Structure 1
């Protein structure tokens, strides 16, 4: 899909609060995100993710990684079911996130004191980092990572903004897991 068409569809879905299926791509990686676009800037969107008729957390996605925006009969059906199940009322931004650039985004998210998940889904880099956002630099963030046993790293993990394909926060997985961390 041409970039202009992607932008046009993102604008429509944001203003009309329609369910959306996004195809995201970086290098040879291709992934899908679904949910509702709550806010948009020229470079980023704030998506409230949905999956299997559940309203989940928030994702900040760089627009440059979005290659296709879909709202077909299948998506309209999902939207209708979410509405009939009373879940559309749960779709709202609980936090104000300035989507101007990565620095403004992470400053606002850091203020929430929520655990974040920073990802680069490109197969050659492929990183997933979950933890507390500790430092914000001009071109990167540092996260106090914890592993699958809930053990915190002694040192922070650095992620360059240019590599991040998705930044998630207020996600059930991250919120619950972060209650059980240990040194």
Structure 2
């Protein structure tokens, strides 16, 4: 599918509140999103999974291989359950990755940053708190699966990022059980 066609469907879906089935070059499976914002490079969508909105993701158009508008019984259920109307549009500037991280940092929320690939050895996953934002990279304090904060932040170059997620069940629930991050300066 051509990028112009993908962007046209996403932009139309923003205005019409369509649910989109989206395919990415780094994943064999598709994802469901209600696109909320888009520009030429990035889009922000509310992720739908089994009649639940599970946070938001910002992804790159360059990674999208195909988009389809989902118009079936599931969409009818989402409408009747009031799920579509309940979607809030977060205030996030998606002009570029720097503005994304500055916006998310002002929300004071933990985030998930991923570098996704069909090759598991190339995948990266960082979850934690934004520390410092620069033009070409961001520093993130990561916490592990035991809820232990690392002592030094990770430096992540924007060119390595395929997605940034926030407000997901995983990050929101886990964050409630973390010790306070103590930064040694």
Residue deviations 1:20-44 (CA, integer Å, cap 9, x gap)? 1110114xx4452212001111111
Q: Aligned runs of 1:51-130 on 2, under 5 Å?
A: 51-72=49-70, 75-93=71-89, 95-122=90-117, 123=119, 124-130=121-127
Q: Distance in 2 between matches of 1:113 and 1:31?
A: 31
Aligned residues: 178
Matching residue within 33, 46, 54 for 1:48: 46
Equivalent runs, 1:126-141 vs 2, <5 Å: 126-141=123-138
1:140-159 map, 5 Å: 140-159=137-156
Question: 8 Å contact 1:60–1:166 — kept in the other structure?
Answer: yes
Q: 1:36 to 1:130 in 2, by over 3 A?
A: same
TM-score (norm. length: structure 2):
0.90
Q: C-alpha deviations, 1:116-138, integer Å up to 9, x for none?
A: 00000122420010000111122
Give, in whole Å, the separation in 2 of the partners of 1:31 and 1:121: 12
- Native 8 Å contact 2:6 2:66 kept in 1: yes
Match of 1:19 in 2: 19
- Give me the TM-score of the superposition, normalised by structure 1: 0.91
SS of alignment partner, residue 150 of structure 1: coil
Is the Cα contact below 8 Å between 1:20 and 1:35 reproduced in 2?
yes
RMSD, aligned α-carbons: 1.5
Q: Name structure 1 gaps, 5 residues minimum.
A: none
> After TM superposition, what 4+ stretches of structure 1 lie above 4 angstroms from structure 2?
none
3-state SS of 1:79 partner: helix
- Measure, in 1, the Cα distance between the counterparts of 2:141 and 2:114: 14
Provide the rounded CA distance (Å) in 2 between the counterparts of 1:78 and 1:19.
10
